[in-house]
A and B are shown apart, each in its own frame.
Chain A
Amino acid sequence: MSTDFEMVVGLEVHSQLLTRTKLFCRCENRFGALPNTLVCPVCLGHPGVLPVLNREAVRLGIRLGLALGCTVHAHSVFDRKHYFYPDLPKGYQISQYTHPLLTGGVLTVRSGEGLREIRLHRIHMEEDAGKNLHAGIRDASHVDLNRAGVPLLEIVSEPDIRTPEEAVDYLKKLRQILRAVGVSDGNMEEGSFRCDANISLRPNGTSAFGTKVEIKNMNSFRFVQKALVYEYERQASLLQRGERVVSETRLFDSSTGKTSTMRSKEEALDYRYFPEPDLPPLVIDSRWVQEERDRLPELPQERVRKLSEEMGIREPDAEVLLLEEDFFRYFEEARQELSALARAGSWPEAQGTSRLVSFLLSEVLREWNRKGVPVLSGELRPGEIAYLVAQVVEERLSLNQAKEVYALCVEELRSPKTVIREKNLSQESGEEKLGEWIGEVLAENPAEVQSYREGKDRVFGFLVGQVMKKSAGKAHPQKANRLLKDALGR
């Protein structure tokens, strides 16, 4: 990436709410039903219908606001936002414009090794549109209105984000909070968590904002990262050539990794916002807010702090463990199994926990990202991971052997015990046996021994490799190292 410019990013997230019914009618709010089976005159925009606000959606809005430290406004207003599109039955979307439910608040994200606070601008309630379907239909488009009227919260950040990594962490942390307070399932594939980005560049060390571009259609965290990197490079090269960035809306294409113009500022729609006359202003009693505050669960940041204090896990690691509830539950079960093994083997529990965390964050997380939930729910049970980690702590297996076992287990759907037995894997740390292998290696490689003794340190690595090879990978690496050094007498 070019380094002359600073990236300035603000994110707009649309999150669907986990309500039983839609925002303004009693139709079911559910993904995946047959097209146009979850509809009624209200969400179809028939003549003469009126919206009735779903209080559960408001309650979830209040909960999110409290979790993010927003101001919950006692008085907010719904507005109509107008545009013509076949998936928008009324020709307008009921949203909130001048007086949103929530303003302010912050979300703390990881920035390198440190933390940064991203301020929130506002969060408002609105209804989702339906979906236009084009695929597989010749000369026609179909419209599915099951999603029309599903409740959304639009969460708008201030332009406080400075790197693609911060943007991705912001989205992950936001999704975690949405899930923690029961507002949303945060499912990006099903579209219940969607993100648009506003990005501009400015010369390093300056404070005025550059011209911003809005990017749409980034439906995974990876695409957000890619789109921001691409857009940064695009804008930077324009600016370096002395050209200007055009204010516009661009679409990200995941197949090319590029963004392209969707509509320019001149083509921007005039939404003709005005207060929704069919809904009185939304008035929220302060007692209601207090009730929700009292019912709020422990928030992710607090859990990270506790986990770190109680188990000595680094905060960044604790954050990753807590990012997904499934993953954390898996960790918790494995940890409990491991603590039983620690008691049985009389070794310190903390040593196991730290080994477990690093194993989960490397091997298991990689596999999970690749294959998804099956890794957690079936392929290797938490108890089996605990067993594998205990083998390393007890020095029966090297870390590399354990990783190899894990890979085989996941691939061949077998238990660690079976793999270890069949591959005849174990670790040799007995000094007698190690000494025997070392003696043989020294005898077989007199020239290398000679040059090491003359000061060529590089040769040491070669000799270690020979010992590992002779042991068929079973030699305890650290011990073999120490004994080899002793034997060479340097």
Chain B
Amino acid sequence: MTPLFDGLAAFCRGRDSRQFSIEEATRDYLSRIEREDPELGAFLSTNSNAVNRARQLDNRMARNPAPSPFYGYPVAIKDNLHVAGLPTTCASRMLANFRPLENATVVERLLQSGAIVLGKTNMDEFAMGSSTENSAMGVTRNPWDLRRVPGGSSGGSAVAVAADLAPMALGSDTGGSIRQPAAFCGVLGLKPTYGRISRYGLVAFSSSLDQIGPFARRAEDALQMMLLLSGPDGRDMTVASRDPAEMERDFRADVRGKVIGLPEEFFGDGLDPDVRASLDRAREVLSGEGAVFRPIRLPSAQYGINVYYLIATSEAASNLSRYDGVRYGYRSLKSKNIRDMYTHTRQEGFGPEVKRRILLGTFALSAGYQDQYYRKAQQVQSLIREEFDRAFHEVDMIFAPTTPTPPFLFGEKVSDPLAMYLSDIYTISANLAGLPALSAPSWPTPSGLPVGVQLIGPAWSEGRLLRSAAILEEAVGIRRPSVGTTRGGEAA
């Protein structure tokens, strides 16, 4: 059964022409969640107040026209973003019962414009992982093949949009946590330029790399969401005062004559042949529209994983220090003294991957090792940035795979952390360089698994990237998995 509307523009038309009420649209999604989600596991909590709010919005619209495209629009929110009234668990035992006092800035802006939060979505614990298998709250399945992972860490948000449990969702991306699950689930996912969107109310994993971004089916919708969420809020000093309207201008500009770089390093031996073949088709589409492809070199990008797992873990170890059982969250009752309380609380509250990263990050920053690890990683990070800077003197954007392979099976990599880390090999460098990057659906593999094209642009070029995504969207078409009827494969 298809949803009441397909895309934000269709939603606005249906809403404004009274084809459906906001309450009907909300109930439609809530019933989809109720029907499909037991199998998919995208949501950790749903908003029991959603229908009430929808009714209030309907009533207000009886007197005044809808003030914003998002008025009455349902969205799903990753469970590391605060929505007052709902828990923020980060899929961790540590925060299983934590309820935030305030909305995240992005949530506040959505609510101010009239959007309706459907619920909170599953993720790898504290956003650490690439398959959502690290959630302490349960499994999330890929709607294209229930035996396969949805990717991560924003697996729940990607599945919610892919399976039509929400028309759009928010995720966070530290090393690929929006783009990789978007690629695995066949939807559009955008990681904005670092400093584009306020992180206030996003539970920090790695503060210098984290960015919040949208999951959508359509590039146009992602653009609208970006226009709403971007810009300073006075609560995050790392947000740049950059006019969001430039994204709209760039989005309207043609791709003809744009130069697109193909980094050799991203098309090496590790790339799955089916993914490669799909990307070749996508390239032809953009060439057909007048874009010019040119090979480029990003030699330091191969060190991205190494650099990432030093910088991100160092910051994570620091950011996760606050979970000590003193003020909120989980507290072990086994303890006799304060030291015991810290030890047991953190031993019992955190899962194995989180502990692994805290250990790694603590080590990387400790006295005597800082120069060797953290500082060295920062130096290489600067090299990666400089290489991208140089590349963007020659090209307008970079075209690459989002992931080396299509979605993998449950259990395939979870016992081998290094293999798991490598699934982010193509996404990590955009975070390290603070650049905007998106994953747009390409043609599926012969067995019907989704493939993502990654586009990376210079800082503040989200509009330009979304234009190319829109071109691919038109060529590839909007595809939907047949959830709940078959075990994978495309709907007839």
A52 CA / B233 CA spacing, docked (Å): 11
A446 at the interface (CB under 8 A from B): no
- Contact (A50, B322) CB under 8 Å given A272-B362, A274-B314: no
Q: Are B101 and A41 in contact (CB under 8 A)?
A: yes
- Answer whether residue A373 sits at the interface, using C-beta atoms and an 8 A cutoff: no
Closest to B101 in A: A41
A50 x B321 contact (CB < 8 A)? no
Of the listed stretches A222-230, A277-285, A426-434, A477-485, chain B binds A277-285
Q: Is B22 among interface residues, defined by CB-CB distance under 8 A?
A: no
Nearest opposing residue in chain B for A279, CB measure: B237
Q: Give the residues from 142 to 160 in chain B that come closer than 8 angstroms, CB to CB, to chain A.
A: none
Partner of B237 from the list A49, A84, A141, A280 (CB cut-off 8 Å) is A280
Size of interface on A: residues with Cβ below 8 Å to B? 29
Cβ of A51 < 8 Å from any Cβ of B? Answer: yes
Mask of B278-315 contacts with A, CB within 8 angstroms, 1/0: 00000000000000000000000000000000000011
Contacts of A46 in B (CB 8 A): 100-101, 328
Task: Out of B100, B206, B327, B374, name the residue touching A48 (CB < 8 Å).
Answer: B100
Residues of B within 8 A of A141 (CB): 338
Is B199 an interface position by the 8 A CB rule?
A: yes
Complex interface: chain A residues within 8 A of B204 (CB): 47-48, 278
Identify which of A44, A53, A80, A273 contacts B327 (C-beta below 8 A).
A44
Question: Would A272 and B366 count as touching, CB distance under 8 A?
Answer: yes
Residues on A with C-beta less than 8 A from B327 are: 44-45, 89, 143
- Complex CA distance for A450 and B321, rounded to whole angstroms: 90
Bound together, the chains give a CA A89 to CA B367 distance in angstroms of 23
Identify which of residues 162-217 in chain B touch chain A, using a CB-to-CB cut-off of 8 Å. Answer: 199-204, 206-208
Tell me the minimal C-beta distance from A38 to chain B in angstroms: 15
Q: Is B88 positioned at the interface, with any CB of A under 8 Å from its CB?
A: yes
Q: Is the interface of B mostly helix, strand, loop or mixed?
A: loop
Taking a contact as CB atoms under 8 Å apart, the answer to whether B237 and A50 are in contact is yes
Bound CA–CA A84/B342 (angstroms): 8
The residues in A between 268 and 303 inclusive whose CB is less than 8 angstroms from any CB of B are 270, 272-274, 277-280
Residue of A nearest to B320 (CB): A91
Report the Cα distance A53→B322, complex, angstroms.
Answer: 20
Question: Is B238 a contact partner of A280 (Cβ separation < 8 A)?
Answer: yes
Do A91 and B322 contact each other (CB < 8 Å), given the known contacts A84-B342, A270-B366, A277-B315?
yes
B365 within 8 A of A: yes
**Which size class do B's interface residues fall under?**
35 or more
A221 close to chain B: CB less than 8 A = no
Tell me whether B259 is interfacial, beta carbon within 8 Å: no
Q: Which of A51, A92, A277 contacts B321 (CB 8 A)?
A: A92
Q: Does B245 contact A (CB under 8 A)?
A: no
Partner of A80, one of B95, B206, B318: B318
Contact B365 A278 (CB under 8 A): no
Query: Shortest beta-carbon distance, B402 to chain A, in Å?
Result: 25
* CB of B104 closer than 8 Å to a CB of A: yes
Inter-chain contacts of B137 with A (CB < 8 A): none
- Out of A41, A51, A274, which one reaches B318, CB within 8 Å? A274
Q: Please name all residues of chain A whose beta carbon is closer than 8 Å to the beta carbon of B236 when the two chains form the complex.
A: 50, 52, 278
B322 and A48 form a contact (CB under 8 A): no
Give Cα A46 to B318, complex, Å. 14
Evaluate contact between B318 and A272: CB separation under 8 angstroms. yes
User: Is B326 among interface residues, defined by CB-CB distance under 8 A?
Assistant: yes
In the bound complex, what is the Cα–Cα distance between A50 and B238 (angstroms)? Answer: 10
B15 at the interface (CB under 8 A from A): no
Give every chain B residue within 8 A of A44 (Cβ-Cβ).
327
A–B complex contacts, Cβ < 8 Å, 11 sampled = A41-B101, A44-B327, A50-B199, A52-B234, A82-B318, A86-B326, A89-B322, A91-B322, A143-B326, A272-B318, A279-B237
**Nearest 7 pairs of A and B residues by beta carbon:** A91-B321, A277-B208, A277-B207, A272-B365, A47-B203, A45-B322, A48-B203
Please give 16 more A-B residue pairs, beta carbons under 8 A apart, in addition to A47-B98, A48-B202, A50-B235: A47-B203, A48-B80, A48-B88, A48-B204, A50-B199, A51-B237, A84-B324, A86-B324, A270-B367, A272-B317, A272-B318, A272-B362, A272-B367, A274-B314, A277-B206, A277-B208
Residues of A whose CB lies within 8 Å of any CB of B are 41, 44-53, 80, 82, 84, 86, 89-92, 141, 143, 270, 272-274, 277-280
